[in-house]
Structure 1
Amino acid sequence: MGAVKNKRMPRAVREQQMLDAAVQIFGQRGYQAASMDEIADLAGVSKPLVYLYLNSKEDLFTTCIRREARAMIEAVRAGVRPDDPADRRLWGGLRAFFTHTAQNPDGWAVLHRQARTHGEPFAAEAAAMREEIVALVTQLIAVAARETHRDPSLPEREVAGLAEALVGAAESLAAWANATPGVSAKQAAATLMNFAWEGLGGLMEGRAWSPPGGSAQVQAPAPAPVSASA
């Protein structure tokens, strides 16, 4: 049953109510299966009002993608404290990401699954969000290298590749954590932080892994792992 209709509700509030309903329906049923009737009913409004406020189903979906992407980016940026040490900044960003995806599973489904699998312009909207997150992580890794490595000259391409890999791992882990009972956002963040920071720590201490036939690497003490209780 939809929400109780209130004709006196301000337009901005009513529109957000419609978007909340749309994200839930799109996230749980998928873009193709979702209907404007379902969205209107859940929002407690008439279908013509949804069209009046948000035009077509395509425009409504695009607006949902943009809103959820903006919320995701703002949450991650808010989790990164500039005055923290390098590892804590990365931890803060990861924990904010996993907390947001856990608290907004329908929004994450819209961004991670639906937007990417229904062609343009939806995929482009999701890609723009991802590029901004990758840029933030690239900056975090570059700063970490400067602060913790005696010779802070990790190649730009390598930093970019590490950021892409870390974001991809976070996306996959978030989808898995949301579908796996008993896995908290903090646990998911700690899992990836330990995996990533150990590897990053090796690079920053000059302990890069070499493929067979490569030169041997000098072993040095590894950075301390991050505990999920932090």
Structure 2
Amino acid sequence: MTATRRRLAPEVRRAQLIAAAEDVFVRRGYQGAAVEDIAAAAGVTRTLIYKYFADKDEIYLECLRAARDELDQAVVAAAGGAEGPEAQLRAGLRAYFDFVRDRGSTWDVLFGGGAAVAGRVAEAAAEHRYQTAEVIGGLVHGAAPQVDAEAASAYAHAISGAAEQIAKWWRRHPDVPVEVMVERMMDALWVGLRAVATDADGSEGLGSPA
């Protein structure tokens, strides 16, 4: 008796395929993964994969977008629940490092340079990275409204770059507690950002994340 494949709503099926693809990319790497591997992991045919995605590159970029969205939302939610620039920065960093700890293999492949991508995939990945930094820029501007948008964006890209590099270090030193990583980043960033977040009268400029 032949088993009948259960029909899923398109958005549910798409999410299932992205989850299966992420697992394949983590296990095999970008170069080692094939559409056939993703289909096998999802328990579907190669033809069904192509109903949703044009090729492996598009699948990879969807995995990257989904993971970036998850990370961005976690950072914004954490920072938005804190009061004052210092607490917001610490909360946002904690959310970031929690993601790196809990989704380490995913972070390696999608964010940490673990995938040998080039061409349009590399360009799209760079754009995702840029947009994540812009999300942080909104938080900087919200916490310190006196800082103009251009400066807030520049500071945010510095924060994003530093966080990415120290996360790569942490992946090589996984025994370091997450709390220590947060404080090390605070030590590296807060002295300069404290001056940015301080008004001329010496009070901290508070605000809601943008």
* TM > 0.5: yes
Find the counterpart in structure 2 of residue 21 from structure 1.
Answer: 20
1:68 aligns with 2:67: yes
Shift in Å, 1:202 = 5.4
Quick check: 2:80–2:88 contact (8 Å CA) kept in 1?
yes
**One-letter amino acid of the counterpart of residue 8, structure 2:** P
5 Å-filtered alignment, 1:1-230, equals 7-11=5-9, 12-81=11-80, 84-108=83-107, 109-113=109-113, 117-145=116-144, 157=151, 159-201=152-194
Partner amino acid, structure 2, of 1:102: R
Secondary structure of the corresponding residue to residue 59 of structure 2? helix
Report the aligned-residue RMSD.
3.0
Deviation string 1:15-40 (CA, Å, 9 cap, x unpaired) is 32221121122234221111222222
* Paired residue secondary structure (1:121): helix
Which letter does structure 2 place at the counterpart of 1:98?
Answer: F
Give 1:169 deviation, angstroms.
1.1
Structure 1 regions of 5+ residues with no counterpart?
A: 147-151, 207-230
> What letter matches 2:112 in structure 1?
H
| One-letter identity of the residue aligned with 2:46 | K
Write out per-residue CA displacement over residues 87-142 of structure 1, whole angstroms, 9 at most, x where no aligned residue: 11111111111112222224322233256x52232223222322233223334444
SS state at 2:41 partner = helix
- Equivalenced residue count is 195
AA aligned to 2:113 is: R
Deviation at 1:84, TM superposition (A): 0.9
Who is 2:207 aligned against? Answer: none
Change (3 A) 1:69 1:140: closer
TM-score normalized with structure 1 length:
0.70
Say whether the 8 Å CA contact 2:39–2:46 is kept in structure 1.
yes
Shift of 1:177: 2.0
- Look at both structures and tell me which one has the larger radius of gyration over its CA atoms: 1
Measured after TM superposition, the shift of residue 41 of structure 1 is: 2.2
- Is the alpha carbon distance of 1:194 and 1:53 closer, same or farther for their aligned partners in structure 2, counting shifts above 3 Å? same
Deviation at 1:160, TM superposition (A): 4.2
Return the offset for 1:44: 2.3
Mark the CA change 1:9 to 1:107 in structure 2 (over 3 Å): closer, same or farther. Answer: farther
Partner of 1:212: none
Give, as a single letter, the amino acid of the residue that structure 2 aligns with 1:112.
Answer: G
Where relative contact order (Cα < 8 A, 6+ residues apart) is larger, the structure is 2
Instruction: Work out the CA distance in 2 between the residues paired with 1:16 and 1:154.
Output: 38
Q: Distance in 2 between matches of 1:180 and 1:21?
A: 28
Task: Give the SS at the match of 2:44.
Answer: coil
> Which residues of structure 2 form unaligned runs of 5+?
200-210
